Every structure is written in C-alpha cells, then in structure tokens.
Amino acid sequence: MLTLFYCDHYDIPLPPGHKFPVRKYRLLREALTADCAIDLAPAPLAFEHDLRRIHDADFVAAFLDGSIDPIKMRRIGFPWSRGLVDRTLASVGGTLAATRTALQTGLAGVLAGGTHHAFRHEGSGFCVFNDMAVSAAWLLEQQPSLRIAFIDLDVHQGDGTAAIFAEEPRVFSLSLHGAQNFPFRKQKSSLDIEFPDGTTDQAYVAALKTGLAAVSVFGPGFAYFQSGVDGLAGDRLGRLGLTLAGLAERDRLVLSWMSARGIPGVITLGGGYSDPIERTVEAHAQTFRLAATFLPDFSKPRRTFSR
C-alpha cells in the first residue's frame, strides 16, 4: 500500500474569509480513506534540529515561540498561533517521514507540504518552512553522495527551494510555472520553464517532457514531486488552462519517469484554490490514486544513481 502522511489532525485557526483553503486537507484525506491501495498515517512533528538543517536558527526559534516579527508573519500570510506551529511541524514531519518510508518502499507521500516559497531566513506565500528542503538536507546527511531532484509542478515558481539549493551541486531544481504569476521576483532554479497565461494540456505536457529529459541527464537518486494542482483551468490563483485529464497525464509522466529509472521519491501536495474547493480535492486525489497504482513498479530492485 502507498503510505501517505496527513496533517489535518492539527488545525490552523484562521479568521473568517481567509483565502487559504484549509478545508481541502481534510476533504482530501476523507476522499482517500476508502481506497484500499492507500495507507493513511498521521504525520509526526518535526524537531527543531530538523528545521535547522536548512533554516536560520533565529527564524526557527522566533516562529516556534511566537516572538517572530509581525511583518514576517504577514509575508507568510497566516496569523501566528500555537495551532499553526503544530500544523507546520507536522507538515515538515510528514515529508520527513515520507522520505524515510520511500527509502524502504520506493514511493510515499504527504497530504501537506510542498511549501516551496519558504527561504532559509523567512517564509512567504502560505509557506513557513520548506519541508522538501529540510527532508532533502536530512537525506544528504545520511547519504552524502546522493543526488536529489525537485520536480516542482505547482503553478507558482519554487523560489524558496531554488534559492536554498542555488549553490548545491547535488541538487537539481526543476520548476514549471506561470510566467505572470506569484512570486513576481523569480529565483533561478536549475531549470525554469515558464508558461504564458491560459497554457493548455498539450503545450504543458510537451514542456514537462523536455524538463524531465534535463533531469535525467543530472541523474538523481531521489526525487521530490511537488504536485500542486493550481494549474487547473479556473483556479483562483492559477492563470493556466489545464484540465483534470491533462493533470493526470502530467502525473503519469512523472511517475513513469521515476519508476522506469528506479528513482525513489516523495509526492508532496502543493497549491490548489479552485472554487468550489472540491474540484481541487478531486485533482489531488487523482494524483495519489494514480501513484498507488505505480507503487509495485517502485518496489522492484533499484539501480542507484549515486556518483
């Protein structure tokens, strides 16, 4: 069974009308509960020392104890609360746990995380800490010769991830995103592929193939797939024109690319802001149901790509 860690056992207290779609996490877990190919597990909390592998100690301490500058919280977009701290620690802890699981099974996921706008010294855009970067740093500590790829398919650039690993030759960051969308000051990923507003399935899929070919040349031994679905047509924050079928094709391309090359990895959530939110939930659920069908291909003996 495909193990997925969830975080909605910790609630983020938000004021009425806040634009973060906190409901989607519970709805997604509920949508996957009946799937007998999926095993849902509560995410454990990350420890402070996990966060400090990537994030500045002052930033970590100030967020955890609530003394963080309100200007920094405004950039993140959430009011500070003890509930937000627990939820954030679970989000990072879920991706760490999924990483450890994927080392055993080949593939695992987290129904949270993918918080790719978080930088070393500050958060941004609904992202406090960068769960994927923290987990990758743990992996590199365990296996110093490992090469890690980020396949970031959220409609917004993975700017935090790109900046964090800008000088790290063992990491390749691929980001496919809307050219006209947040963040408006882009960072430099290993490879950025930008789309004009309204881009549809065919152009997107062709660009993804080009991107994955570049990652193949890099030769990763582990991958993080940030599977944001805010590229879906009609998404409130998306600006692209992808269909559910196009997103399924996207997911199939990434998963078959990973499994064919024996690259274990973790699927994280990402953005998705459709109205109604059920449409976003359907797109996320589709990703994880498809991933569960790929799991047997990941469980086969693997080549290692460490160099």
Which C-beta is closer to Zn ion: that of 24 or that of 147? 24
Which C-beta is closer to Zn ion: that of 204 or that of 294? 204
**251 near Zn ion, rule: CB under 5 A:** no
* Interacting residue with Zn ion among 271, 280, 292, 295 (CB under 5 A): 271
Residues 130-169 interacting with Zn ion (rule: CB under 5 A): 154, 156
Which C-beta is closer to Zn ion: that of 50 or that of 159? 159
Which C-beta is closer to Zn ion: that of 228 or that of 264? 228
Which C-beta is closer to Zn ion: that of 38 or that of 133? 133
Write down the least CB distance from residue 133 to Zn ion, Å. Answer: 16
Write down the least CB distance from residue 206 to Zn ion, Å. Answer: 21
According to the 3-state scheme, what is the secondary structure of the chain? CEEEEECCCCCCCCCCCCCCCCHHHHHHHHHHHCCCCEEEEECCCCCHHHHCCCCCHHHHHHHHHCCCCHHHHHHHCCCCCHHHHHHHHHHHHHHHHHHHHHHHHCEEEECCCCCCCCCCCCCECCECCCHHHHHHHHHHHHCCCCCEEEEECCCCCCHHHHHHCCCCCCEEEEEEEECCCCCCCCCCCCEEEEECCCCCHHHHHHHHHHHHHHHHHHCCCEEEEECCCCCECCCCCCCCCECHHHHHHHHHHHHHHHHHCCCCEEEECCCCCCCCHHHHHHHHHHHHHHHHHHHHHHCCCCCCCCC
Write down the least CB distance from residue 271 to Zn ion, Å. Answer: 3
**230 near Zn ion, rule: CB under 5 A:** yes
Stretch near Zn ion under the rule CB under 5 A, chosen from 49-57, 89-97, 225-233, 260-268: 225-233
Write down the least CB distance from residue 160 to Zn ion, Å. Answer: 12
Q: Contact at 8 Å (CB) between 158 and 175?
A: yes
Write down the least CB distance from residue 265 to Zn ion, Å. Answer: 20
Rounded Cα gap, residues 121 and 269, in angstroms: 22
**235 near Zn ion, rule: CB under 5 A:** no
- Residue whose beta carbon is closest to Zn ion: 271
Which C-beta is closer to Zn ion: that of 147 or that of 156? 156
Give the per-residue contact string, 42-71, with Zn ion (x = CB under 5 A; - = no). ------------------------------
Q: Contact at 8 Å (CB) between 227 and 152?
A: no
**117 near Zn ion, rule: CB under 5 A:** no
Stretch near Zn ion under the rule CB under 5 A, chosen from 66-74, 213-221, 222-230, 286-294: 222-230
Which C-beta is closer to Zn ion: that of 127 or that of 263? 127
Please give the residue ranges that form the binding site for Zn ion (CB under 5 A).
154, 156, 228, 230, 271
